[in-house]
Structure 1
Amino acid sequence: MKLTPVHEKLSVADQPDAAEIAALGAGGTVLLINNRPDDEEAAQPGTEVERAAAEAAGLAYLHLPVTGPSLSRSDVDRFREAVLAAPGPVVAHCRSGTRSLTLWAIGEVLAGNLSRTELLAYGSERGFDLTGAARWLDAHGDRT
């Protein structure tokens, strides 16, 4: 699992396996957010398996599945609220980490903590392409 810190409380990652989830719990992470819909790929463990691994590791667990076309303001708000309300470090994951970072970055722009012009550089500095976030903001940002 590639773990990328993006905020003092948040890191994003690709799909963790059970051993990596256990290590997150041992390392002080308090919440695992899964941004993958079930059955996105044949090899992914699925929500119930992942939830059980997270709970066994002492982690709170939130399944907030999103796809590029289905991403809503409600998803962005729920993600942001979960991260900020967590009493410690949070790891959010999807297949590559991009959707998880997209949720955070859109929330940062909407909250006024990141300018729209800084968005692509923010992603690039962390090794991610946030053009999908930019497209979402172009399509939805004025109606939030």
Structure 2
Amino acid sequence: MDESALQGIYNYRRLTDLIATAGQPSEEELAAVAHAGFEAVVNLALHDAEYSLPDERRTVESTGMRYIHIPVVWERPLRADLERFFEVMDEMTGKRIFVHCAANKRVSAFMALYRQLRQGWSAEAVMPDVLAIWEPDDVWRRFFQEMIG
């Protein structure tokens, strides 16, 4: 599966053969995601943000991919958001999943917590993928601490 067209998506990162993450893709980039063989798109951004697409669900579903929206408020990530994300990721184990938000910051944090809490990775193993995108601020450092316990 050719993923070269995905390299231009803002903050694109391929984490595994089955999971890639990024910032907000355009409609054309979502078509490329489908063409690359992804089966589902998980969006952690809000729909009312200035960078969101007019109807991302329709765009994604028109390509044959499944669309899941878990809107995570940037200044107030919630345990319930993370638990829903875990449910979705667990449900889609073995499928090719493209996970995005506005800039791949929420996603990098949620993926790190998923890997650590659900897949048993160490904090040292998950943080390089977060730090490649951004340095978590106080809100997100506190969220990590609260979720890890």
Name the TM tier (shorter chain): 0.7 to 0.9
Q: Does 1:138 align with 2:145?
A: yes
CA displacement 1:6-25 (0-9 Å, x = unmatched):
23421111111111111111
**What whole-Å deviation, never above 9, does each CA across 1:51-91 have from its counterpart, x for those lacking one?**
11101111100010102433222222221332232252111
Q: In the alignment, does 2:87 pair up with 1:78?
A: no
1:131 Cα offset (Å): 2.6
Q: Where does residue 120 of structure 1 map in the other structure? A: 127
Which structure shows the bigger proportion of residues in helix conformation?
1
2:25 alignment partner in structure 1: 16
Runs of 5+ consecutive residues of structure 2 not aligned to the other structure: 1-8
Letter in structure 2 aligned against 1:64? I
**Greater mean deviation of Cα atoms: 132-141 or 6-15:** 132-141
Which residue in 1 is equivalent to 2:52?
Answer: 44
Gaps of 5+ in 1: none
Identity %: 22
How many correspondences in the alignment?
A: 137
1:115 partner amino acid = S
SS at match of 2:114: helix
2:52 aligned partner, one-letter code: Q
User: What TM-score, normalized to structure 1?
Assistant: 0.81
In structure 1, how many angstroms separate the alpha carbons of the residues matched to 2:119 and 2:96? 22
